Amino acid sequence: MIEVVSRPKKRLFLALILVSLLVTCISTYGIWMVSFPGLANISQYLPLVIGTILLFSIIAIASGIVGIIFAILGFPTLGFFQGPAWSAINLLFPLAIRIGKLCDLDQERIERSFIEVSNHLIRRKSVKVSPEKLLILTPHCIQRETCPYKITRNVDNCKVCGNCQVGEILLLSRRLGFHFAVVTGGTLARKVIKTLRPHAVLAIACERDLTSGIQDVYPLPVIGVLNERPYGPCCNTRVDMQAVERAIREFLSEKK
Ligand code: SF4
């Protein structure tokens, strides 16, 4: 089974996150109104205090989303927006997925759109790191299924036989000097990040793993490159090496 991946559009994620914000505003207002009499029974000031806290929370989330939209449209945005922007994404993303499902939208399509938005925001920051502070993470399924070598403990066990792209990335890492790890899942990925303490990550994975990984490791800058699945999910996956090299060179400082 060959999976055809359509080109992701940033506006899909942005539209869903805006609808999620609207739903959150309406439900927060509804909950506040319903609890108003009970709160007023405890203290006459309590509805106002709680209402003010909720209002400022909504304003912070909305300012984050406005920051994302301005950044996508190419307007200069203040670094101040970064924190609220990612808090807004982390908070509203599950709701955005649910709303997308209600509208019969494919979850992977929404996740691809999110990855595009996230990559765009990271690229705008023009993060530059030295090779030893850059980590490339790929999932285990990029290794040839029949390969007998254990590369998740040590990628140098790869014999660069040419049967999968692990060898290609390994040679590139030796040439340019960045770290390269093949991981079996999110737990191992987090462990590698904790051990190596990179300043930037290039992650190659499927939509679901990239989406959760990018959100998990924030504020670490991550560029996500989607894998290709010519044999279906989790089996002999591949990646566009040109996209990988482009992302690596974007991260590495100019002189490298
Ligand atoms: S390139 Fe490395 S990991 Fe891939 S099949 Fe060959 S030895 Fe195994």
pLDDT at 148: 95
Measure the CA–CA gap between 124 and 231, rounded to whole angstroms.
34
Answer with the residue of higher pLDDT: 240 or 5.
240
Which residues have any ligand 1 atom within 6 Å of their CB?
143-144, 147, 149, 151, 158-161, 163-164, 166-167
pLDDT of residue 1: 46
Beta bridge partners of 228: 238
- What are the pLDDT digits (tens) for 141-155? 999 999 999 999 899
Which residue CA neighbors atom 2 of ligand 1 most closely?
158
Tokens of residue 102, six digits: 């209600």
Residue-wise pLDDT for 214-239, tens only, equals 988 888 999 999 999 999 888 999 99
Mean pLDDT of 89-97: 87
**Ligand 1: residue whose CA is nearest its atom 8:** 147
Give the pLDDT band of residue 2 (cuts 50, 70, 90).
very low
Vertex 55 angle, CA 51 and 58, to 5° = 140
Distance 30 CA to ligand 1 centre (A): 57
**Which tokens hold the place of 134?**
């850059």
Q: Could you tell me the distance, in angstroms and rounded to a whole number, from the CA of residue 230 to the centre of ligand 1?
A: 18
Q: How confident is the model at residue 49 (pLDDT cuts 50, 70, 90)?
A: very high
By most ligand atoms within 8 Å of CB, the mutation choice from 138, 142, 149, 170 for ligand 1 is: 149
pLDDT digits (tens, 9 = 90+) for 108-159: 999 999 999 889 888 888 889 999 999 999 999 999 999 999 999 899 999 9
**Which domains are seen in the chain, by residue range?**
10-124 (no CATH), 131-251 (3.40.50)
Distances in Å between the Cα of 22 and the Cα atoms of 19, 45, 59, 148 are: 5, 27, 12, 52
Ligand 1 pocket check: which of 144, 169, 236 to mutate, most ligand atoms within 8 Å of Cβ?
144
Q: Provide the whole-model pTM.
A: 0.84
Give tens-digit pLDDT for 166-193. Answer: 999 999 999 999 999 999 988 899 999 9
Q: Which atom of ligand 1 is nearest to the CA of 167?
A: 1
Q: Is 180 helix (H, G, I), strand (E, B) or coil?
A: strand
4 pLDDT more than 50: no
Report the Cα 231 to chain-centroid distance in Å: 24
| Residue with CA at minimum distance from ligand 1 atom 6 | 161
Q: How many angstroms separate the CA atoms of 164 and 231, rounded?
A: 13
